[in-house]
Structure formats: structure tokens, C-alpha cells
Structure 1
Amino acid sequence: MTEQAARLRLSSKPGDTSSLCAGMTSTRTAILPRFLLPQLSWCGPATIPRLAPWTVFRYEQPVARHRLRAMSWPRGFHATALRRRDHHFDTLKFVRRLQSEGFTEEQSVAMMKVLNDVIEESIQNLTRTMVLREEAAKATYTQKVDFAKLRSELLSADSSESNTTRSAHERLTNDIAKLSSRLRDEISRTQASVRLDLNLEKGRIREEAVGQELKIKETETKIEQEVAALREKLELVKFQTLQWLMGVCTGFAALLLGAWRLLM
């Protein structure tokens, strides 16, 4: 594998970085696991210094390497100081592990840089959607304040509504009590008036009945008097009729006797 890397260095030109990246990628894909293959296809920054053929690299301390890397990149002007770039894994152990697997020091350092950049970019992509603890605490405090305000408003609205409902219920209860008492008074007054009317009607009917009885008695007495008078008249007529009949009979008998005496 070292001979293949040396051939790639000899075949590539001094400033040809793309062929070097392609050779390094093809060499890495033969040994690295599959989950690192998409990450290793990415090349480093464009400011990688040109490599001369048959150049032997010596591993330096990570602090010095990162210092040289920071010096080779162009610095921009910022209002705040640039944040120190921390590694998220043991770079020295990773480089030694790659060297023990058969990679050269240059390949190990390049792979370590690529993996560090990929991890840093992934962490930055993950932290874009995250918030700071202070902001989260501030948002939580704001939500708690809003919730407390909403709760107080709901409690005040509930208490006001309950008071309004209670007062309306009491007012309705009082109105119903007044209406019931008024209705009871009206019913009692109506019953009293009806009873009075009934008593008056009973008295009037009783008086009329007494008057009718008196009239009936008067009529009966009148009828009895008329009947007695008629009886007296009948008796008188009967007596007169008897007297007339007796006179007629006596006269007729006297005539018969006189006629008989004449004939005799």
C-alpha cells in the first residue's frame, strides 16, 4: 500500500491536488469501513500546501499542526474573537491506529483532518437547530409567566363569571320567591272573593227560597179561603135549590089535589 501511495505521488504533478485526493480516496476505501466512505470522499480545504514528490513527513504535535493550519488560512475581521476549535476525539490515538493499520503518516493525518472536519460540520449542523440553555430557560420562564398570567386571568374571569352567575341566580331566586308570594296572595284573594260570592249567593238563594215559601203559603191560604167560600156558596145554592124544589113540589101537589077534588 505504501508503494501504491508513492506511485500516486510520482504520477501526480506538484500542484495537482485532485489526483492526490482521488488516489487517497481509492486507497482509503480499500481498508476503511463502509460507514466512513461517504465522509472520506470529501476533500480538505483548498489551501492545502503543494506536496513535492518523495517528501517525507514527520508527525508533529497536534498543537503545532493546528497553529500552522490556522496561520495558513486567511483570517477575517469579526466583532468577536474566533472560538478555539476543539477536537471531539483523540486525534493522536486515531493517527496511530491508522498507522498501525498500514497507512502512512501523511495519509493518517489527512484522514484525521477530514474526519475532524466532517465531525465538526455535523456538530454545527446539529447545533443550528439547538438553543442555548439561557435562551431555553428564558423561554421557559416567559412561558411560566404567560401561563401564570393566563391562569390568573382565567381565575379572575372564572371568579367574575361565578359571581355574576351567583348574583343572577340569587336575583332569579328572589324574583321567583316574589312571584310565588304574589301568586299565593292572588290565589288567597281570589278564593276569599269566591267564597264571599258563594256565601252571598247562598244567602240570596236562601232568602229567595224563604220568600217563595211565604208566597206559596199565602197562595195556599188564599186557595183554602176561596175553596171555603165556594163551599159556602154551594151549600147556599143547594139549600135554595132544595127550598125551590120543595115549594114547586108543594104547589104541584096542591094543584093535583085541587084538580082531583074538582074531578071527583
Structure 2
Amino acid sequence: MPSQASTTSDAPPHLKPAPYVHHFDTYSLVRDLSKGGFTDDQSITVMKAVRGRLHNNLDLAKHSLISKSDVENESYLFQAACSELQSSLQTARTSEMQTQRASRTQLQHETDILSQRLNQELAGLKDDIKGMFNDHKMTTREHQRSIDTSVQELNYKITVSLNSDGKSEIEGLRWILTRRAAFAIAISAAMIIAFLKYNSMYKARKTEEAQKPKEPPAAEEVAEPRSVRDAALQSAAIIPEAHISESLG
């Protein structure tokens, strides 16, 4: 049976195991340890321990870390996913922008319609308020005219009443003054006539006395003129009293 070394040497190149890779200089380490006071066996043992420890750490690193090809593959996949995500986001953003633009256009159209309707309603309300204000103004004017007419009628009635009362009072006062003036004129005329009669009688008596001889006058003749004079004075006194009572009445 051939040995393992001959089998390995006879194997094809692509089936041969990879040569052992030394990560540090083992000979220099053994020699330095021997110079430091270690024996050859101890130095070799320490070197093998360091090599085994390093080999274990490298195996752990190989199992836990990712290779460059894997990193490149992951990077490519990540970039492809990012590109796809970017394109999908851009597409979604474009569609969302178009949707929002359409919504904004529709909202703008609805806003214009609402503003036009609001303006129409405001114009209608303005016309209604203006009509109501004009109606109220006309009603107020008619009420004011009716009040003015009532005041004018009342003033006319008061004026007519005052004029009629004043005219009646003036007529009554005029009649009273006229009657008083007539009574005064009558009394004055009566007094003048009485005075003239008395004066004429007195002058006639004086003339008769002057023509007659001087004789003692009889008692009857003296009493008669005195009685005539007293009657004239009484009539003159009665007439003013009647005038005063008439004026007071």
C-alpha cells in the first residue's frame, strides 16, 4: 500500500492540498526563545501553541467575516435594490404629484365655482337688503307725510277754531263797545238836551224876572222851578246808573 506522501505527490495539481502558509517566522521565534533561556523542546512547544492559537483565530475570522466577493455581491445587490427603490420612489412621487396636481386643479375649480356662487348670493342679498332699505325708506316717508298731514290738519283746525273764537269774541266785544258808545252818546245827548233846556228855562225866567216889577216871589213859583230842577237832576243820575249796569252786564 503506497504511503500518503507518495499519493499526494502523484495527485493532479488541482487536487493537491494548498501548501501550508506560515503567518510568522517560526524558526526565528524558536531561536529567540532558545536564546531567552528556553530549551529547544520548550521553544518548539511555545511556537506550536502560538501557531495553533493564530490558526484558530484565523479560522474564526474566516467563519465570522465575509469575503470580498460576498461583499461585492452584497454591494451590487444593495445598489440594485437602492436603484429599484429610487426608481419606485420616483415613480410613486411622480404619480403622487400628478394626483395632487389633479386634486389641486379640481379643488381650484370647485373653489372658483363656490366663489362665483358666493358672489352671486352676496349680490342677491345686497339687492334684497337694498330693496328692503328702499321699502323701509318709502314707508318712513309715507309715515312722515301722514304725520305732517295730521299736524297740518291739526294746525288748520286749531287756527280755524282760534279764528272763529277770536272773531266771535271780537264781534261780541265790538257789539259791547258799540252798545256802550251808543249809550254814552245817548246819555251825553240827553245831558246836553237837559242842560240846554235848563239853560233856556233859566234864561227865560231871568228875562221874565227882569221884565216884571220887583215883587216878592210867591212860594209856589219858587217851589215849582226847584221841583223841575230836582227832577232833571234825578233823570240825569238815573241814566248813568243804567249805563254802568249795562256795561257791567
TM-score by length of 1: 0.48
Greater relative contact order (CA < 8 Å, ≥ 6 in sequence):
1
Q: Which has the higher helix share?
A: 2
**Which protein shows a greater Rg?**
2
